Amino acid sequence: MSVDDKIVQDFVNNKVELVTTVPCKQLAGVIDKIDACKDIYHIPSNKEDEGMGICAGAFMGGKRSAIIMQNTAIGVTVNTLATLTQYYRMPLPMLISYRGELGEPVACQVEMAVHTKAILAQLNIPTYHFHHEDDVAELDKILQYTFMCNKPVAILTDASFWKGY
Amino acid sequence: MIRSDVLKALIPVISDHFTVCNIGLPSQEMHMMDDQPTNFYMLGTMGLSSSIGLGLALAQKQKVISIDGDGSVLTNFGTLPTIANNVADNFILLIIDNGSYGSTGDQPTYAGQKTSLAAVASACGCENVVECQAEDAVETMKAALASDKMTIIVCKCESGNIPVPVITMDPVVIRDRFMTEMAKRNA
Ligand SMILES: [Mg+2]
């Protein structure tokens, strides 16, 4: 099974029914699969904080949700994570393409890559880093953990994991 | 009429429905005048009232009214295309447009100048956009609720504020009370 299919299957198995996305080249495949999945309502967002608002609403309406976005969005969403997702204690799996790591061709991506884990650590956000393809095996448990503790949880997925970008 | 007058007039019509109350004075005024489990108060996160309301409306069947402001919609303009393209007929976005950032001291917004939020919402693809004056807010809201169609209301009013206490409720209590009521009505 491809990594993209495994991710979508884990979302479905964990009753994630709404996924919002802001695209990244590395995420193109999984976003296509999310869009095609009939068990998931796919709602593209124009900005990641908007997406987190939609996820907060879906959660309060009784549906599990998740966001798929690029790590640059961590710089955009600090206030939303602190004052909405964390303050109201809501679960939010964040599948994040970790640009600016080994294999990165675009120098500017490194500028946010060096801040990504530091910001997540500063926010006390549980953070997992998928580097090898096999790391995807942990996703199911990470999703269970997220909905158990009602916290935003970050899953950073780098270029090595995606076998290039 | 200022925003608090509009909300006071609307309360008999919207009180029984789920509302997402925008950060600052809109939440504080709703809390002071009509505190109840169907109100979700935003204590932070400017701009996301419409996004939270859309997510709520897409996830379940009860009607949801986001009480938003012109300044907040300007902050989160990307919300309008998302709303337009993800129609939830149980969703009403009420933008109380006083042409100012009311909660921060009535600094003027562009919505009070050249920018028409109703025109922007229509250009984004929203299908039922109604601009009304404050005096017509109640009739406009009644019609929107009766239509069972996703509606964007831009209610023009004067800027100005009344003194209101801050909300001291714990956010998790606000959220849990709201979710419990929602689960009960959807049962
Ligand atoms: Mg205003």
Tell me the CB-side half-sphere exposure of residue B157, using CA atoms within 13 A.
27
Instruction: Show the tokens assigned to A97.
Output: 């393409």
- The shortest C-alpha distance from A52 to chain B (Å) reads 8
CB contact under 8 A, B48 and A53: yes
User: What tokens appear for A56 in the block?
Assistant: 């907060």
Selection from A119, A118, A101, A97 nearest residue A110 by Cα: A101
Give the rounded percent of residues in chain B with a pLDDT score beyond 90. Answer: 99
Strand partners, B66: B20, B93
CB-nearest to A83 from B45, B55, B186 is B45
Are A89 and A150 in contact, with CB atoms under 8 Å apart? yes
CB atoms within 10 A of CB B39: 22
Tokens of A86: 């964390």
What number of helices (H) and strands (E) belong to chain B?
A: 8, 8
DSSP state of B42: P
Determine the average pLDDT of the residues in B113-131: 98
Q: B48: which chain A residues are within 8 Å (Cβ-Cβ)?
A: 49-50, 52-53, 56, 80, 84
Please report which helix (H) or strand (E) contains residue B68, including its range: strand B64-69
Is residue A114 within 8 Å of residue A156, measured between CB atoms?
A: no
Measured CA to CA, the distance from residue B34 to residue B11 in angstroms comes to 7
Task: Please indicate whether, in this complex, the C-beta atoms of A57 and B55 are within 8 angstroms of each other.
Answer: yes
* B158 pLDDT above the threshold of 90: yes
Please report the pLDDT score of residue A164 as a whole number: 77
Complex prediction ipTM? 0.98
CA–CA gap between residue A62 and residue B47 (Å, rounded): 22
C-alpha distances (whole Å) from A100 to each of A70, A110, A116 are: 11, 4, 10
For A3-157, CATH number out of 3.60.20.10, 3.40.720.10, 3.40.50.970, 3.90.226.10 equals 3.40.50.970
Give the other-Cβ count within 10 Å of A17's Cβ. Answer: 18
pLDDT tens profile B15-28: 999 999 999 999 99
**What's the gap in Å between B100 CA and the centre of ligand 1?**
4
Q: Where are the domains of chain A?
A: 3-157
Determine, for residues A87 and B58 on separate chains, whether the beta-carbon distance falls below 8 Å: no
**Ligand 1: centre distance to CA B43 (Å):** 16
Which pLDDT tens digit goes with each residue over B50-77? 999 999 999 999 999 999 999 999 999 9
Number of other CB atoms surrounding residue B114 within 10 Å: 6
* Dist. CA B99 → ligand 1 center (Å): 5
What was the pLDDT predicted at A113?
Answer: 98
Predicted confidence at residue B125, as pLDDT, reads 98
- Round to whole Å and give the CA distance between B153 and B170: 30
Q: What is the pLDDT, as a whole number, of residue A165?
A: 62
- Segments forming the whole domain that contains residue B91: 3-185
Query: What pLDDT score was predicted for residue A148?
Result: 98
Provide the strand spans (E) within chain A: 16-21, 41-44, 64-70, 92-98, 127-130, 152-158
Count up the domains in chain B and report the number.
1
Cα separation, B42 vs B53, in Å, equals: 11
pLDDT, mean of residues B164-171: 97
How far, in whole angstroms, is CA B14 from its chain's centroid?
11
- Give chain A positions within 8 Å (CB) of B174: 88
- With CB atoms and an 8 Å threshold, state whether A56 touches B55: yes
- Nearby residues of B167 by Cβ (< 8 Å), 6 or more positions away: B27, B28, B31, B41, B43, B174
CATH of the domain at B50: 3.40.50.970
CB-CB under 8 Å, A53 with B52? yes
Scan for tokens 């109703």, then name that residue: B118
Query: Within chain A, which residues score under 50 in pLDDT?
Result: none
Give the pTM: 0.98
Cα nearest neighbour of A17 on chain B: B59
Residue B140 has pLDDT above 80, yes or no: yes
Measured between beta carbons, the chain B residues lying within 8 angstroms of A55 are 55
Alpha-helix residue ranges (DSSP H) falling in chain B? 3-14, 25-34, 49-59, 70-75, 79-85, 117-123, 137-147, 171-186
Phi, psi of B118 (to 5 degrees): -65, -45
Taking the centre of ligand 1 as the mean of its atom positions, its distance from the CA of residue B71, in whole angstroms, is 5
